[in-house]
Amino acid sequence: MRTIHVKTESADYPVYVGSDFLPQLSRHLRKLSGDALPRLFILTSPEIWALWGEALLSGLPKEQHPSILFLPPGERYKRLAEVERLAGELAAAGADRSSVLIAFGGGIIGDVGGFLSAIYMRGIDYIQMPTTLLAQVDSSVGGKTGTNLSAGKNLIGSFHHPRAVFADVATLQTLPARELRAGLFESIKAGIIRDAKLFRFLERNAEAVLQRDMDALKYVIGASVRMKAEVVGIDERESGLRMILNFGHTIGHAIEAATGYRRLLHGEAIAWGMLAALQIALGRGTVTAQEADRITQTIHAYGPLRPFRSSAGLLLGAAGRDKKNRAGKRRFVLPQGIGDAVVVENVTDAEMRDAVEWTLAAARQSEQKTEARGR
Amino acid sequence: MRTIHVKTESADYPVYVGSDFLPQLSRHLRKLSGDALPRLFILTSPEIWALWGEALLSGLPKEQHPSILFLPPGERYKRLAEVERLAGELAAAGADRSSVLIAFGGGIIGDVGGFLSAIYMRGIDYIQMPTTLLAQVDSSVGGKTGTNLSAGKNLIGSFHHPRAVFADVATLQTLPARELRAGLFESIKAGIIRDAKLFRFLERNAEAVLQRDMDALKYVIGASVRMKAEVVGIDERESGLRMILNFGHTIGHAIEAATGYRRLLHGEAIAWGMLAALQIALGRGTVTAQEADRITQTIHAYGPLRPFRSSAGLLLGAAGRDKKNRAGKRRFVLPQGIGDAVVVENVTDAEMRDAVEWTLAAARQSEQKTEARGR
């Protein structure tokens, strides 16, 4: 088991990375809350519960009868109307301020569960038990919770840190391969922006990682979480350093928005966004051609990158509406070599257009390759 | 102008009590944000805007075109669906993380505006400009924001402090008399639990206060806010001292719930709740008969108390579901003389029943008096 401590201005909690949390859940929970377990409420998805619900219940004492709340899968349920329904179910089941919610599932379960905990009775404790790689390395750490609006993703939310995160790599064994790869792009991001050693590990061990070797996964997840914990510890509210976590996100988000959030998984869009940002970095010389090459090859090693179609106009428009823009300024994260990154505000319209057009061409090329393979 | 500083673990902001904030709003806002005014969004009710909107706009420079968002009056609009609609309007109007929302209206506007600010883009700055006495002395201070669920009031919410509160007594001149009196019950509460001098002022100056003498109102509001600021400064999250602010609220909330939140204004229900709690205090000897008499007479001086009908069963049931209960314990606030209060956890079922029955009898008596006057 690896333990990473997240320490921010407003919170201090452990992230545990291991492979046996479910069957021993009550033992682990007692480490947090002492002998008397609180009343537990579990928010999960029907799929995850069907696969892992029994294992989780086996780890709780018989007298604990946690209430199970379900959220259907998909971004379209990441909405306030669902939060209201779930809050009503909590109230009906008698949840009070001392109750604890366990968010057991992927990123949407974590985001909605965290937000529900943030606003139910003005805040109750919650625990993250992420079951996707993306949630384990990224969304379960850092305290960002929330829902979408029609006008955009994650426009509603709170900073609300969990009491603890249990990242159980055993649950990754049932994760679809495409989702595993999409999550690994966030780990590659972690390596590029702040952890050259993690990047090298991912570069050299793609096969073991993709075959879900438990030790390889524990290392990758632990290192990714440690990177994020350090950054969030220094800059919880994203006034400075935390911005670097958005490497690949400006154009990645634009691609997600322009393709209606249906075509690509988040991590896949971020992979495209990182390649796009890399073009700008290469043009400015903040990475060498050799570094750019290593990054590109490593991203592709965890591919194939799913192609998409869009237009430069659509992507540039969507990037302009990105909520990371502050008072009209466009912030952009560029890698500086491998293992470091900077936030700049002077990316020009021409650089943006070139990067977007390069990405559209790369996506077209990838589509042709896919078709050629299909013949 | 009186200035009270609210200092808590998570916030530090001024509450200004005065009578000329509207026509000089931009000058006051510049004190907070420096020379460049942020983009302003105003959440208000149609009534308040009709009465005071022009005065507020006159205080802003011509080039400021604040977007005005409206929330219809009434508890039934204090819901997540309205928050979602308003968030969509903010997004459509281009509000970003540097925008500032002004909550201009009564308690519901403040609660919803504060919550909207708490969760829009995970939190933007907001300013309270309360226009009812209740909002000025109570709900605009302390950072509690939120909405109702079908299952109960204020079950959804956040702690999110404003950047500043401007309590303008000029706006109280258009407040309906019944609402003025209902708000004053919270000031009487402030006096009873922590400020004997404020209590004496209210006891002796009922006429001036009820005739809306500006100086008398400024004193009462300033002292009430100071009391609350002290308490919240010591115990922001209501783990201890802040509980005393709930004097009158256990049975007061039960009366509101049992009468469907329609019959009584919040302050009126709290007045009944204070009289009920006083019976328990008198039975235990934490107040003398003479003190109980002064409290009772002062509450009635700001009456008449609107009668209501209910049953002991309904009220006791509603009190049992009060969200201030923690892990099954019933907490109850009792005055200790005048100007002090304690939180106890050992109020018996019999004491509760007696207090509730006394209150129902007093309400019946008050109804008969009202009828007799009506003949």
The verdict on A131 and A65 lying in the same domain is yes
Q: Quick check: B123 and A158 CB within 8 A?
A: yes
The verdict on B61 and B155 lying in the same domain is yes
Question: What is the nearest CA distance from B108 to chain A, expressed in angstroms?
Answer: 16
Q: Quick check: B81 and A80 CB within 8 A?
A: yes
Burial class (CB in 10 A: 0-12, 13-18, 19+), A354: middle
pLDDT of residue B327: 53
Q: What one-character-per-residue DSSP string does A211-263 give?
A: TT-HHHHHHHHHHHHHHHHHHHHH-TTSSSGGGGGGTTHHHHHHHHHHTTTTS
Last residue of a domain, one of A123, A158, A174: A174
* Structural element, H or E, at residue A160: none
B144 is in an annotated binding site: yes
The verdict on B134 and B182 lying in the same domain is no
The verdict on B162 and B309 lying in the same domain is no
pLDDT of residue B323: 54
The verdict on B189 and B170 lying in the same domain is no
Domain range enclosing A13: 2-174
Last residue of a domain, one of A125, A151, A174: A174
Contact A341, A334 (CB under 8 A): yes
Q: How many domains does chain B have?
A: 2
Neighboring chain B residues of A152 at a CB cutoff of 8 Å: 91
Q: A360: domain CATH number?
A: 1.20.1090.10
In this structure, of A48-52, A237-241, B92-96, B253-257, the range with the lowest mean pLDDT score is A237-241
Q: What is the value of ipTM here, to two decimals?
A: 0.88
Neighboring chain B residues of A98 at a CB cutoff of 8 Å: 326-327
The verdict on B223 and B236 lying in the same domain is yes
Contact B107, A142 (CB under 8 A): no
**Which structure tokens are listed for A74?**
């998909």
| Strand A125-130 relative to strand A164-168, pairing | parallel
pLDDT of residue B95: 96
Q: Which residues pair with A213 in a beta bridge?
A: none
A186 is in an annotated binding site: yes
Last residue of a domain, one of B117, B140, B174: B174
Q: Which residues pair with B120 in a beta bridge?
A: A156
The verdict on B271 and B190 lying in the same domain is yes
Q: Quick check: A91 and B152 CB within 8 A?
A: yes
The verdict on B161 and B183 lying in the same domain is no
Per-residue confidence in pLDDT tens, chain B, 375 aa: 899 999 988 889 999 999 999 999 999 998 887 778 899 999 999 999 999 999 999 999 888 889 999 999 988 999 999 999 999 999 999 999 999 999 999 999 999 999 999 999 999 999 999 999 999 998 888 899 999 999 988 999 999 999 999 999 999 999 999 999 999 999 999 999 999 999 999 999 999 999 999 999 999 999 999 999 999 899 887 778 889 999 999 999 999 999 988 899 999 999 999 999 999 999 999 999 999 999 999 999 999 999 999 999 999 999 887 655 555 578 899 999 999 999 999 999 999 999 999 999 999 998 888 788 766
Cα separation, A332 vs B34, whole angstroms? 27
Q: Quick check: A323 and B96 CB within 8 A?
A: yes
* Structural element, H or E, at residue B27: helix B25-33
Find the residue in B nearest to A99 (Cα): B327
First to last CA, chain A: 46
Question: pLDDT (tens digit, 9 = 90+) per residue, A248-272?
Answer: 999 999 999 999 888 999 999 999 9
3-state secondary structure of A288: coil
Q: A153: domain CATH number?
A: 3.40.50.1970
The verdict on A34 and A156 lying in the same domain is yes
The verdict on B133 and B249 lying in the same domain is no
The verdict on B201 and B340 lying in the same domain is yes
Question: What is the nearest CA distance from A123 to chain B, expressed in angstroms?
Answer: 7
The verdict on B128 and B191 lying in the same domain is no
